[in-house]
Structure 1
Amino acid sequence: MKTSQEIIEKLSLGATIHQEEIPLIDLYMDQVIQLFDAKYGQSLRNEDEKVLTKTMINNYAKGKLFIPIKNKKYSKQHIMLISLIYQLKGALSISDIKATLDPVNEKIEDESFQLEDFYSSWVRLQQNNATNFFVELSAHESEIESEIESEEIDEELKQILLIATLSNMSNSYRKAAELLVDDLLVKKEEKKK
């Protein structure tokens, strides 16, 4: 079984696109894809998986997950929003991502909103989450060892217990996120009334 440290290294949880890494000039789609590949490519499960594709970006644009692009170029704001989408898509449906980001996109239209500050907060939280994940993963491994301490159980079964534990936690976090999305939607409907 891989150790917590090996899993953490493969996941590259600390990988993120920091504001200072986003060019000040607008980028074409191919450049956006290259930026994301360079940052998140190491964390892919296998070679067949893609970080970001033209189809994905086009679908995000058609689905109005981010503000409209201008002249086929993506601004710093677009890169930040696509980065958020990239992080959200592992747990939420596209419609839930849209519901989550709609308030952000609406606030961007109001020129007093600073997406950069919001994004910086997200990056700091993401970095903290990466640190916390290592601690939690190690704790789950210890719990499994304690749980089966008296029984003779092989490494494969320990790994299966860890997979089941992580899947259970993942489902709990996803369901909690979905409840919060539903709450956003209810509040949006109440505002319309």
Structure 2
Amino acid sequence: MENIKHLIDQLGLENHIILEDIPNIDLYMDQVIQLFESKYNSTKRDPGVKVLTKTMINNYAKGKLLFPIKNKKYSKEHLILISLIYQLKGVLSINDIKSTLDGINKKVEEGDMDLDYFYSSYLDLSQKNAQQFKDDIQLKAVEASDKVKKMEDNDADYLEKVLLISSLVNISNLYKRAAERLVDQIVHEKKDD
């Protein structure tokens, strides 16, 4: 599959809201949405879909995925949490995200956490994950191509893509199940407290 490098480039793997992107002043909802749209616009599959909407943010607040907003303004900490929610919602349910971030919200509210350091650590791991992904997907593409060559089929390009899609979905499901188990551990440990 010759276009795998082009596919990787289209994914926007390096697109993240970094701490330098977040102003040290509180933002109104429209400004938050504008920040997310400008940063993640190129990563959307469908150009007509919004990255973040007022309804989404209101639902995050009502669902207590974020600590309370003051004066309709969102702090740097809120933006960091919204960014984490944005990443987590691709795989986890809203309830799982709430369970995952509940302790962080409490620590931030109590002033008992360096959220900037935590988020920087997340960004560092994300950067390493992106590099591993690039290497791995290229390897998977070669493996799929090798398997299809043995089939001697006229529709090799299509079969290669289906095999690669199936392999990537399998890996994705394994990671998703592992993440869900970790969420379950957080919930179980919280019940024991």
TM-score, length basis structure 1: 0.95
Deviations 1:138-159 (A, max 9, x none): 1111111222332213101110
Asked if 2 retains the 8 angstrom alpha-carbon contact of 1:92 and 1:178, the reply is yes
Q: Corresponding residue for 1:72?
A: 72
Structure 1: runs of 5 or more not aligned: none
Q: Give the equivalent residue in structure 2 for 1:162.
A: 164
- Equivalences for 1:98-109 in 2 at 5 Å? 98-109=98-109
Tell me how far apart the structure 1 counterparts of residues 48 and 177 of structure 2 sit (CA, whole Å). 28
Q: Which residue in the other structure is 2:97 paired with? A: 97
The aligned counterpart of 1:20 is 20
TM-superposed CA distance for 1:5, in Å, is 1.4
User: By how many angstroms is 1:2 displaced?
Assistant: 6.4
For residue 134 of structure 1, what is the aligned residue in structure 2? 134
Q: Deviations over 1:31-86 (max 9, x none)?
A: 00000001000010012221100000000000000111000000000000000000
Q: Residues 41-60 of structure 1: matches in 2 within 5 Å?
A: 41-60=41-60
Cα RMSD after superposing both structures: 1.1
Q: Contact between 1:28 and 1:73, CA under 8 Å: does it hold in 2?
A: yes
Amino acid at match of 2:165: I
Post-superposition offset of 1:10: 1.2
2:172 maps to a residue whose letter is S
Amino acid at match of 2:19: Q
1:3 Cα deviation from its structure 2 partner: 2.1
Change beyond 3 A, Cα 1:66–1:159: same
CA distance in 2, matches of 1:167, 1:174: 10
TM value normalised by structure 2: 0.95
1:13 CA drift (Å):
1.1
